[in-house]
Every structure is written in structure tokens, then in C-alpha cells.
Amino acid sequence: MTATRPGERSDALVFFGATGDLAFKQIFPALAGLIRDESLDLPIVGVARSGDLDSLRDRARESLRAHGFTDASATRVLTDRLRYVKGSDDDIATFGALRRELGQARHPLHYLAVPPSLFGEVVANLEASGCAAGARIIVEKPFGHDLASARDLNETIHRVFAEPAVFRIDHYLGKEPVQNLLYFRFANSILEPVWNRDHVASVQVTMAEALDVADRGAFYDQAGAIRDVVQNHLLQVVSLLAMEPPSGRTPEAVRNEQFKVLDSIRPLAPTDVVRGQYRGYREVKGVAAQSTVETFAALRLHVDTWRWSGVPFYVRTGKRLPVTATEVRVELKRPPQAVFGELQPPDADYFRFRLTPDMSISLGARAKKPGEAMVGEPVELFASHQSGTERPPYQRLIGDAIRGDQTLFAREDWVEAAWRVVDGVLDDATPPPVYEPGTWGPPEASRVLLRGDRWHEPAETLRVEAGANVVPRLAPAVR
């Protein structure tokens, strides 16, 4: 098993699957951004089954053009630093050539941008060739397809790499709005007095996508909404919302608290979940004619901790919904008495965290309408970031992995705890109710709500057009 060196920089980067889609869409732009912004100066070695160094450099240039990267100097440095090893993942000679190409590098970072089914072969050959000594690896999600496979995958990796040398990358944790959620929670004192079961009535997380599954039909029909985004992205958001303050400033301090949240969530029962499938999904290329895979899921989570006991966490996601947006709404309990006697019971106060497509934080409350009557209306105090200078997630995460910073990477126990939460409701063969594209899923989704609760639909955009980075305003509330 390789020795690990927390905090020590890697001295070379190797990425397997160098001619694949992930390299084209994410890795090349991220590396060019790191060269431009952080003067990245590592040797960069691509490994793939076909092509040569010239074709790899051409593909890197094409990738950067396609993503609007215009820094000619960084582009030139990236292509100059590229090296290439042609071969297959199951050929030990390929890894011998890789070790020679690494030269004096003794602490390489290996990025496995290949399917998880190939991890075992690649890891074994890295060890046999000497490329694993003193190295780290990055592995892409999905980390298994259920609890048993996640455990098997972790065991396979740990035969060669100790946990501190393993970086499980999920771009969602590298997104600036997700980081802002963590920051806002613990950089301010205004939340802590009310951030508990005494004052919070419910927590709602919605990740809506207006798009269909597009050309991912074959993949999606093996996954579904729960595997695709609930088990990872949305449970990550829940863990940030519900975690206790970290006990220190180390990466492990944050990850320890995130794991505790996942470990406290009851495994989902069928009564906690409503699935749905948009009309027309079965006609998508790669989807089975009688598919029962869900494109929509609504869940009720029970977080059994002292802070959150009895507070329902509602999670909802789906394809072909009316908008593309991700929001968190933390609804507070209503005042104990209606002092002003308004006929219609008003919505309770709430915090709303907008994660995509724009980033904002809102406090929803009530204010008196102008006039003689003591009648109110809902308003929001709204703050929106509009700088547009955030680092792309892959650039942030690859840079962190090179530095050995694991804060934004999923730990083994977190991954397995997340699978444990959803494991009991995976692969449900019951045909899910069909919903019309452009609606908010099947009406049955309301079954997961407790009495008196309702779903809150995100608006398509909440961006405030102004020049300042943070714009406070008092405005009509989004219902």
C-alpha cells in the first residue's frame, strides 16, 4: 500500500482516458485554468488506447476553443507540457512506459477518468509497475451503484492506495454556491439560535432540470434520479445544512461532521419515496421499452440527531420540470398566535439558498402593507452574488488534489453511508406514475409531505440586475 503525504504537492499529473469526453469537457479546461491562475508547472501525461502526442495536443486546443478559453499563453504552456503514453489499461507494458515517461517524478497524481469497472485493472497495474509508490489517485463518480458495490470498489482501491491518498471527485462539491452554503452557515452568528428543531419546521431541497436525458439514455436507464443526483449531490447539500460546526480547520474536521449527518439519517422506506417518469422517456435512444427507471424522485428524510429530530427534510429532483434551478428552503415555525388576525394563514418565515443557475440568499418574512389596516404581505431580503469570477469546479478540485487537500472530496465512510440511506429503495420494479413534461412531477409527490407542508417551486431566475456584487433588496417574496 502506498505511503501518503498529506499536504505535499504532487510532482506530476497522469490522466487515463485522455481522448475521452471527460478530458475534453472538463480536464483540459481545468488544467489550462490552473496554468493561467496558479502557474501550474507539473508534467502532464495522457494515457489512451489510440492517437499520439500531436493528436492529443490538437484535441487539447480544440477543447479550449470549444469552451471559450482565450489565453494563448496558458494554451501554449499546456500543450508544451503534455506527454503521451499509448496503450491499454490491462497491458502492464503500458504502465512500464508510463513509469519511464514520469522520469524523476516520485509523487504523481493519477486521474482515473475511466469507467469504475476498469479501476481494479488500472490500480493493480499502477502497483506492479511502480507507478503507485508515493502516488495519489483521483476517481470519478459514480462510486458504485449500490452499497455492496461501493464497498467492493473501496476494497479494490485500498489494496494499493490508503484512504488519505484517494480523492473521490464529485464536481458538485466544488461549485461556488455549495461552498457558500457552508460558509454562510458558520461564518455568521444569525443562524445558530434558530438552526434547530425548536424553530425550524421543515427543510426542502429541490434540484429541478428542464432538460430531458438527451443522449444519456443508456446510462440513465441503468441509474435513475436517485442514483444520479440524490445519493451524491443532494445528500451532500443535506449534510452541509444539517452538520454541526467543525471542531477545527482541518479537512477532516468538516468531513467528520458531514459523515455524522449521513450516519444519522434513517434508511429510506418505500413510504418515504415517490418516483415518477416523464412522458416520452421510454422513446429515448438507449432506454428500455418497458423501463421502470425514475426520472423524478421526491423523498422525506429523517435526520435522527438531537438538533434535527422530528424535522422533515424533503428532497425533490427530476428531469423535464418547468425550470432548471436548485434551491434550499428552510421554513421556520409560525408565531404561536396570530396577533393581527389575518384571515388567510400566512406562510412562515424562511431562509432560501439559491444554488443554481444564479446564487443568492434570501430571508422571507412579512411586512405591513401601506394603509390603515393591519394587513401584511410576504417580502424577501435578498442578497445576490453576481461577480462571475468563480473558479470552475474541476479547476478547484484538481488544484486541491495536487496540493493534497481533501476537504471537497468524498471520504470512504461518507460514500458508504450515503448508499446506506438509499439502498433499500433502489431498483424498484414498480412502474412509476407518468408526469407530463413541463410540470412539477406526478401529483403523488405530495404523499411524502407531512400534514400542512407543501412543495415550493423555484422560479426560473432570481438574479438582480445591478453592478454590485451583493445586492440587498426588499421585494415581493417568491411563493
Q: What is the pLDDT of residue 389?
A: 63
Range list of H helices, 103-146 = 119-129
What mean pLDDT do residues 68-74 have? 93
What mean pLDDT do residues 428-441 have? 95
The answer to whether position 47 is within a domain reads: yes
- CA nearest 351: which of 368, 333, 338, 336? 333
Rounded to the nearest integer, the mean pLDDT of the chain is: 89
pLDDT at position 473 over 60: no
The answer to whether position 472 is within a domain reads: yes
Same domain, 148 and 217: no
The one catalytic residue among 107, 233, 385, 456: 233
Same domain, 120 and 228: no
**Residues 270-295: tens digit of each pLDDT:** 999 999 999 999 999 999 999 999 99
**Residues 390-412: tens digit of each pLDDT:** 778 899 999 999 999 888 888 99
Same domain, 335 and 246: yes
Same domain, 122 and 197: no
Q: For the chain, how many structural domains are there in total?
A: 2
Same domain, 104 and 50: yes
Let me know if 233 is a catalytic residue.
yes
Domain boundary among 121, 148, 169: 169
The winner for highest mean pLDDT among 46-55, 163-172, 292-301 is 292-301
Same domain, 384 and 255: yes
pLDDT at position 150 over 80: yes
The answer to whether position 455 is within a domain reads: yes
Q: Mean pLDDT lowest for which of 94-98, 100-104, 334-338, 461-465?
A: 461-465
**Residues 296-334: tens digit of each pLDDT:** 999 999 999 999 999 999 999 999 999 999 999 999 998
What mean pLDDT do residues 65-90 have? 93
- Reported in sequence order, the residue ranges of 424-466 that DSSP labels E, i.e. its strands, are 434-435
Domain extent for 280: 173-476
pLDDT at position 101 over 60: yes
Same domain, 314 and 396: yes
What mean pLDDT do residues 6-31 have? 90
Q: Mean pLDDT lowest for which of 45-49, 204-208, 387-391, 432-436?
A: 387-391
Same domain, 143 and 196: no
Domain boundary among 128, 144, 169: 169
- 11 CB neighbour count, 10 Å cutoff: 18
Q: What are phi and psi of 189, to 5 degrees?
A: -95, -5
Q: Is 78 in a helix, a strand, or coil?
A: helix
Q: What is the pLDDT of residue 118?
A: 87
DSSP letter for 392, please.
Answer: P
Same domain, 187 and 258: yes
Domain boundary among 169, 200, 223: 169
> Which tops the pLDDT comparison, 175 or 145?
145
Q: What is the pLDDT of residue 5?
A: 58
Residue 443 sits in a domain of what CATH number?
A: 3.30.360.10
Q: How far apart are CA 215 and CA 74, in angstroms?
A: 32
The answer to whether position 32 is within a domain reads: yes
Q: What is the pLDDT of residue 388?
A: 60
